[in-house]
Structure 1
Amino acid sequence: MVQQATPAFELKSADTADAVSVLSHWASSACQPAGPSGAGWRRVAVVSSRLSKRLDQETRWLSRLRSTLAALPTDSTQVLICERTAGADVLTAGCDLFGLSRLTLQLGRKPGQRAAGLPPADLALFAMADEIRVLKCRPQGNMVRLIEMHLNDPRRHRKPVYVAPECLPCLSPEHQLRVRLLEDPEELQRDSAAQPGDGMAVPRMTSTAFPALPEDHPLVCPDQWLCHWTRPAAGPWPGETHQHYCESLLRNHCDHSARGTLLRILAEQRLRASRLAIRGGHPVVSLTAVPLSDFRRRRVFRGHRQRYDFEPWGLAIRRSALGSYDLRPVRYGCDDTWKSLSAADQPWYQKATQDGVTDTVAEQEWRIPQDVDLSLLNPNDAMVFVDNAAAVDTVQPHSRWPVLLLP
């Protein structure tokens, strides 16, 4: 059973033990857990400090979340979730995946109001919980302050706090003795260096006779090829629901690295058009005429977009093989250029900047205003390029085109 509640109160100060006490008293009378009269049920808060935008890289946290949810009894546990807390969406998907009852809180703020002190959302979880499980915390962070405030409140001493072993050094020696430790999940015991996407199912080629490099490959005849590099994806794939994305994280089927993006393209046999950072929101597939041999030198981090350009993973496609598509070079210009374009020509517009933060003209971009069906390409019409020698051996079984190590 899924329950939701919207607390009808305003936390004016979240940085006092009194606020915890008041909220706890309110919660005990306002929200009854699922089940007959709530008897025998426990509210469990699963909390964490701030997580990376690339959740697929939070392998230790995901392992702990899986093991924590799997260990909770489904017939007597109600998991507390508060919107906008770290990992709330994945926790919600996890409750549904493991058949756990959940209570979702929504804490609003007045327009223009800024949170002061401790985060009200995390405070609410601590206040309402019968049991708290901390999967991740940072030294001197808000989560540590909440743990210590909870432990120092004599009215909360019957509400145990479990913490991941790596959280212990964040606590004072006194507080270390008053928390309980979460056991390491079996998968962490087996491999402390577990990598994201180990369980990702990617089709392999049935043939073991891999294609040879054509004589006119991109490093020899760069003018005959266009390249499409792949980036890490922070969030769902194009066309993937957020729910499915969260479930794939929990199932350990979620490698969203540049390598994982490339493997997904090879599995789907399709380059999907994207609207991201395209003026007018036109879906396009972007390619570059920059020679593949220049990629290493040109790779640079774009702080304003929090990503790298010219990643060492991707595909090179023979220009002649794209003749059936409306493939055109980008038209670089200013706002007046944009205004002069017809609606039909707008997908190829890109604002020109030279010698600035981003030299877009130097990217030599070409675009196709639709998906590219890679299954229509011949074995000699495309090549895959990868970052290291080990990846050649791991990616080639998934590709019907030759795999080349980027020099």
Structure 2
Amino acid sequence: MTGSSPDQVRIARLESLGETSVTQRSDVLRSTNPIVGLTSSRLGRDVFVHRRLCQFLCRSLLDCRTADASVAVAKGSAIEPWAVRAAKLFNVPLLLISVDENDGDISDVVIRGMKVSRDAAVITLSDRVDAIHVRKGGNVERHLRDRILRFRDASTRVAVSVDSGDASQGLIKDGAIGWYLGGRDEDPAPDLPLDATQLPRGPTQWMHTDGQWLVHCTRARQGPWPGETVDQYRDAVLTDHPRATRRGPIDALQRIVQSRSLIASAVTTAKNAPVVCFSSLPMAQILQRRCFRPHLGRWDYEPFGIAIRTSALIKMGVKPVIYGQPGDRSAMHPEDRYRFQAVGKTYDWRSEREWRSKTGIDLGSLSPDDVRVFAKTSTQARDSLHGCPWPVTWIE
């Protein structure tokens, strides 16, 4: 299209997909500077996937800043919240694209009148595409292949991953540019066993008492910590903060010890009812009966956590769960609904003997004699709990 303006060329690409109208709300589409489209398949909640994503994303934004380019991203796409945050951090112009959406003045470009996905619009319109994460068999893979075969140039870059579900190798065979980063992701270093004679030991009798202690086990965290905003989490991963990917059960316990508090969250209850959960089972029994639950993708209990004397928590308003059938919750007094737990069908949740607090627990307000910390023996655990103000029971 000799003599055509940049936006005419870009819109012509879209029109090749079908009848369309384009509303521009910024000058980015008209700019002679390159536009780099960012796209990705669904990302899930795995922090290590997020970290790898951000390594490629940051590299792309740095390249854009060097080339004085803008980035384009589809509103509502998997990559949008990460790209928006990264563009702000790296001070790169952002072009937000909507397809057949009446979104007021939010998007820079609104495309109407054609039956095409938002991912296809960004992939087709952009001068270059950086595909951050592409899974096999998805729409993003299909749209990228269409672009590669149509344009027959070196304008499509695909991040390469060792994941078995990664589609990069097939796209590279079709003509995409393989995008590699130096180094490789390492699995978290395994915990090394310590000589038990060198470890401090807390009292262990409490672990076998029934009803005297309420136990809160920590677990690995996917996504933001309780009390951490989504933006704070994304910033930590984007900037590759050393602690961004340390979100295992020992890390959760370390946060509790350092903050002297248990923060209520809404993981197991209705979103409007954040709670702190405990079990009144003896600690030793919890460890003996722990099992992996495939439908949740995790262990029901981890050998890390904190125990608090039952009498102390009762004074703080902590109460036992009320078990029943799903329809029973609506009949309860609104102030007690945070305590409701369905009995369950495939598993009887009454065996958990759960208690809940509808507020966070200020551990600093408790007597030191009313708190116990427990952790599986490891080098990391010993380092993480160094200086713990409460007795630590080490689990071999």
Give the corresponding residue for 2:389: 400
Give the corresponding residue for 1:81: 73
User: After superposition, where does 1:57-206 map in structure 2 within 5 Å?
Assistant: 57-73=49-65, 76-108=68-100, 120-153=117-150, 156-157=151-152, 160-166=155-161, 170-171=169-170, 174-175=173-174, 178-185=175-182, 189=183, 192-193=185-186, 195=188
Residue 248 of structure 1 and its aligned partner are, at CA, apart by: 2.1
One-letter identity of the residue aligned with 2:76: R
Give the corresponding residue for 1:47: 39
Tell me the TM-score normalized by structure 2.
Answer: 0.76
One-letter identity of the residue aligned with 2:316: Y
Give the corresponding residue for 2:230: 242
Mean CA deviation greater in 258-267 or 275-284: 275-284
- Within the candidate set 348, 373, 379, 1:384 is matched to 373
User: After superposition, where does 1:303-318 map in structure 2 within 5 Å?
Assistant: 303=295, 308-318=299-309
Match of 2:323, SS state, is strand
What is the CA–CA distance in structure 1 between the aligned matches of 2:17 and 2:116, rounded to whole Å?
16
Contact 1:140 1:170 in 2 (8 A): no
What is the CA–CA distance in structure 1 between the aligned matches of 2:177 and 2:292, rounded to whole Å?
45
Contact 1:333 1:351 in 2 (8 A): yes
Give the corresponding residue for 2:262: 271
Give the corresponding residue for 1:11: none
Residue 275 of structure 1 and its aligned partner are, at CA, apart by: 3.7
Contact 1:23 1:124 in 2 (8 A): no
- Sort the Cα spacing of 1:298 and 1:379 in 2 relative to 1 into closer, same or farther, 3 A: same
Contact 1:230 1:311 in 2 (8 A): yes
What is the CA–CA distance in structure 1 between the aligned matches of 2:391 and 2:250, rounded to whole Å?
16
One-letter identity of the residue aligned with 2:239: R
Encode CA deviations 1:346-401: one digit per residue, 9 max, x unaligned. Answer: 44333334xx3231100101122221001223444323333452342232226333
- Sort the Cα spacing of 1:252 and 1:276 in 2 relative to 1 into closer, same or farther, 3 A: same
1:294 lines up with 2:285 in the alignment? yes
What is the CA–CA distance in structure 1 between the aligned matches of 2:304 and 2:224, rounded to whole Å?
19
1:330 lines up with 2:321 in the alignment? yes
- Sort the Cα spacing of 1:95 and 1:381 in 2 relative to 1 into closer, same or farther, 3 A: same
> Please, what is the CA RMSD of the aligned residues?
3.7
One-letter identity of the residue aligned with 2:373: V
One-letter identity of the residue aligned with 1:135: I
Residue 165 of structure 1 and its aligned partner are, at CA, apart by: 3.5
Encode CA deviations 1:191-250: one digit per residue, 9 max, x unaligned. Answer: 531659xxxxxxxxxxxxx99544355434354321112233333333433322322221
Contact 1:162 1:179 in 2 (8 A): yes
Residue 251 of structure 1 and its aligned partner are, at CA, apart by: 2.3
Question: Which consecutive unaligned segments of at least 5 residues does structure 1 have?
Answer: 1-16, 111-117, 197-209
What is the CA–CA distance in structure 1 between the aligned matches of 2:340 and 2:82, rounded to whole Å?
38
What is the CA–CA distance in structure 2 between the aligned matches of 1:52 and 1:336, rounded to whole Å?
31
Tell me the percent identity.
24
Contact 1:273 1:370 in 2 (8 A): yes
Match of 1:50, SS state, is coil
What is the CA–CA distance in structure 2 between the aligned matches of 1:59 and 1:250, rounded to whole Å?
7
Question: Which consecutive unaligned segments of at least 5 residues does structure 2 have?
Answer: 1-11, 103-114, 190-197
Residue 87 of structure 1 and its aligned partner are, at CA, apart by: 2.5
- Sort the Cα spacing of 1:181 and 1:18 in 2 relative to 1 into closer, same or farther, 3 A: closer
- Sort the Cα spacing of 1:285 and 1:85 in 2 relative to 1 into closer, same or farther, 3 A: same
What is the CA–CA distance in structure 2 between the aligned matches of 1:141 and 1:336, rounded to whole Å?
39
Contact 2:219 2:302 in 1 (8 A): yes
Contact 2:212 2:310 in 1 (8 A): yes
Encode CA deviations 1:266-286: one digit per residue, 9 max, x unaligned. Answer: 232211123444369443321
User: After superposition, where does 1:197-216 map in structure 2 within 5 Å?
Assistant: 212-216=200-204
Residue 100 of structure 1 and its aligned partner are, at CA, apart by: 0.9
Tell me the TM-score normalized by structure 1.
Answer: 0.74
Encode CA deviations 1:320-343: one digit per residue, 9 max, x unaligned. Answer: 443530122223234686566544
What is the CA–CA distance in structure 1 between the aligned matches of 2:146 and 2:271, rounded to whole Å?
50
What is the CA–CA distance in structure 2 between the aligned matches of 1:98 and 1:67, rounded to whole Å?
10
Give the corresponding residue for 1:219: 207
Give the corresponding residue for 2:107: none
Give the corresponding residue for 2:109: none
One-letter identity of the residue aligned with 2:256: I
What is the CA–CA distance in structure 2 between the aligned matches of 1:179 and 1:336, rounded to whole Å?
54
